[in-house]
Amino acid sequence: MDKEQDIQLATEQLMADQAAMEGPSNPGRRRFNMGALVAVAATAIGTSGLGRLAQATESNPTSDGYRVPAEWEPHQSVLMAYPYDKSYKDQLKPMQDSVINVANAIAQFEPVLMMAMTGNTEVVRKRCGPNVTVIEYPYNDCWTRDTAPVFALSPSGHDMLGRDFIFNGWGNRWSATLDDQLPVGVCATLNVPKSPINMVFEGGAVITDGQGTLITTEQCLLNPNRNPSMTKAQIETTLLRAYNATKMIWLPYGVYGDDGAAATDGHVDLVAAYIEPAHLLLNYPSDPSNPNVPRMAANLTVLQQSTDARGRPFKITKMPVQPTFKVSGLTVENFSYINFYKSNVGIVVPTSSTPADEIALNLFREIFPGRPVVGVDGTILANNGGGVHCITQHIPSVG
């Protein structure tokens, strides 16, 4: 049997196992079928990479001193993934177009690593610009903010590792076996150690200033579909150790509408984003009839009564618009301009094809003077539960 047949059989086995293993999260499943995972990875990382994968280097987050940096700190690249799952039905091609458009927009400012499902590499490569590198590896879906490792830097800044949380498909909504194993291959590809964290978590559930502060929502992290056996204090302690942070601020709510089939149960990256230390951009519609007004008012109250890990009060800039629109005849209510990507140079913002876009883009130009602000249609992404930030995972620079 030749190498291509090996890879095909391994992929088919992983996909079959993925379907068989849906259900409550199981911390042991990351060790499942490593032989098949190694075989599939061959096309992406070669023999030396496979050695790193089979002999996974692991780190203890309680003692390694690695810190998750803020998103405004320098990036070496960003990780994305090309959607292929036919469950998107008639929205698959628009989803693929959206991901490619975001990738090519970011690639103006920093390199992009684009994951392609096994067998799709050439198709994806033809769609990407010259500053996008395509890597073949098995995965379920394109939401790398939630499925990829959360990258952390050593105290010197010269080394990096990937925090590898358990991923259960946003509360067992969707197939997740391949995505749960994605950090294994990503860390091997980047030649960085992997640090397993025995907790269900998605990267979009927390924002950080890289200076000791984490912000999250109770609506998401306390949902029993993630970690029903953990208390709030245990969840907080685990994340503070993983991020090397000292203070967590719990906002009560995510955005209205972020609790359906295509939802995250209230990820904070639809609610707030760091602009700089102690300065937040907060989703706060000016239309009093918007159902997010009471939710964001409650979040604002918490922030106004809080200080960050260094004792600084928060400066709050409000995003006054949150449009609704229809996709395939259904109203989308969870679109958020807050779900943007801050690259090394430019700002890439989801847009809604409504008049609110110009208000939002002008606000971003005021917030980030001198930096190019690029709008990319985010309507299909929002209809499927996310935005630009959700399909990107930044990889910090080292050295």
User: What is d(CA 397, CA 40) in angstroms, rounded to the nearest whole number?
Assistant: 28
Each residue's pLDDT tens digit, 7-37: 444 445 444 544 443 333 333 333 333 333 4
pLDDT of 378 > 90? The answer is yes
Mean pLDDT of the chain: 88
Q: Could you write out the DSSP letters of every residue in 76-111? A: EEEEEE----GGGGGGHHHHHHHHHHHHHHHTTTS-
Q: What average pLDDT does the segment 63-85 reach?
A: 95
User: What is d(CA 18, CA 312) in angstroms, rounded to the nearest whole number?
Assistant: 46
Q: Which residues have a catalytic role annotated? A: 390
Tokens of 385: 């539960």
Domain 75-321+389-396 sits in which CATH superfamily? L-arginine/glycine Amidinotransferase; Chain A (3.75.10.10)
Q: How confident is the model at residue 64 (pLDDT cuts 50, 70, 90)?
A: confident
Residue ranges of domains in the chain: 75-321+389-396
User: What is d(CA 184, CA 45) in angstroms, rounded to the nearest whole number?
Assistant: 12
Tokens of 166: 């358990």
Q: Which residues contact 28 (CB under 8 A, 6 or more apart)?
A: none
Q: How confident is the model at residue 262 (pLDDT cuts 50, 70, 90)?
A: confident
How many other CB atoms are there within 10 angstroms of residue 49's CB atom? 18
Phi (first) and psi of residue 29, to 5 degrees: -70, -10
pLDDT of residue 62: 60
pLDDT of residue 141: 96
Each residue's pLDDT tens digit, 97-118: 999 999 999 999 999 999 999 9
Each residue's pLDDT tens digit, 187-227: 999 999 999 999 999 999 999 999 999 999 999 999 999 99
Q: How confident is the model at residue 287 (pLDDT cuts 50, 70, 90)?
A: very high
Q: What's the DSSP call for residue 69? A: P
Best CA proximity match to 327, nearest among 357, 353, 365? 353
Tokens of 193: 């150690």
